[in-house]
Amino acid sequence: MDIKTYISTGIIEEYALGVLPQEDASILECVMKNNVEVRNAVLEAQKTFELLADAEAIEPPSELKSQIFAKLDFAKSTENTNNLTETKSVSAPIIPLNKKSENSNFSKFALIAASLLLLLSLGYNFFNSQKQSKEISQLATNNTILSTQVSELQSQNTMILNSKNIKLNGVAAHPGMLANVYWDSSKKVYLKVNNLPAAPQGKQYQLWAIVDGKPVSAGMFDGSKPDSIQSMAVIDKAQAFAITLEKAGGSPTPTMENMMVMGTT
């Protein structure tokens, strides 16, 4: 967190008001020792609140002191002070001490306004903090998704480099159709559809391996995901691979008139 963001969190005002927890106050004091900008911000906040407190203070009238002393009876009893002249008590009007001037009322409102502004600032900073936490959480989620995607791509690239690539081209009835079969050392088959139309409703594509002249199903696949590499069956040996369009769920034997692509190993 940079210094300006740190200052704008409201921690400076809490410290100046004396409401900051001791642990946070200790951290702030350490920061003040090493950062002039933070130290100046604290001093300015303290000065502002001191000015507000001084503005709220009420200075008593200059004549109040003499009136209070006049009200007090310093005359001693005549029983013990025959040689002193008797003093008379002075009756003075009582001046209410809680009478405030217009200036003091204005100062009170100024202090209240400053307090409200501080609360609003703290609330705003808290809202921003919550918003930033959500953004950080979302960034972490996005980073996890991207990391997973990168890992999958790396695995696919490794598989492609270590597999036999068999290109399946469109047959005469479907020129331009294209797919790739990757056959790794463990005999696992992977399929990448490059150019096949989406299967009609109620239909599904089926991959076949031609083993000793006979078609063996290598599994159904989703034709709606072009360019994705899909895991198919394990085929121990094959002389060719082909794709046909079959009814949903697959067929025990390929429909030859619905063959889309084919390629030899």
Residues 169 and 131 in one domain: no
Residues 127 and 171 in one domain: no
Domain-embedded: residue 125: yes
Question: Whole-angstrom Cα distance, residue 247 to residue 224?
Answer: 16
Residues 112 and 198 in one domain: no
User: The domain containing residue 57 runs over which residues?
Assistant: 3-79+92-140
Domain-embedded: residue 34: yes
Q: What is the CATH number of the domain that holds 227?
A: 2.60.40
Q: For residue range 41-54, what is the model confidence (pLDDT) as tens digits?
A: 889 888 887 776 66
Question: Whole-angstrom Cα distance, residue 247 to residue 170?
Answer: 20
Residues 58 and 124 in one domain: yes
Domain-embedded: residue 216: yes
Residues 103 and 231 in one domain: no
What's the average model confidence in pLDDT over 175-193? 93
Q: For residue range 63-104, what is the model confidence (pLDDT) as tens digits?
A: 655 665 665 554 444 444 444 444 444 444 444 444 444 455
Q: Measuring CA to CA, how many Å separate 236 from each of 68, 187, 192, 220?
A: 114, 5, 19, 18
Residues 225 and 131 in one domain: no
Domain-embedded: residue 100: yes
Residues 171 and 249 in one domain: yes
Domain-embedded: residue 38: yes
Domain-embedded: residue 151: no
Residues 7 and 134 in one domain: yes
Residues 66 and 127 in one domain: yes
* Residue 23 clears pLDDT 70, i.e. is over it: yes
Residues 66 and 172 in one domain: no
Domain-embedded: residue 56: yes
Domain-embedded: residue 152: no
Q: For residue range 193-238, what is the model confidence (pLDDT) as tens digits?
A: 988 988 899 999 999 999 999 999 999 987 666 667 889 999 999 9
3-state helix, strand, coil in the chain (%, to 5): 45, 25, 35
Q: What is the pLDDT of residue 152?
A: 67
Residues 170 and 134 in one domain: no
Question: Whole-angstrom Cα distance, residue 37 to residue 227?
Answer: 56
Alpha helices in the chain (DSSP H): 3-7, 11-17, 22-34, 36-56, 64-71, 102-161
Q: What is the pLDDT of residue 203?
A: 92
Residues 47 and 125 in one domain: yes
CA pseudo-torsion sign 172, 174, 176, 178: negative
Q: What is the pLDDT of residue 139?
A: 77
Domain count, the chain: 2
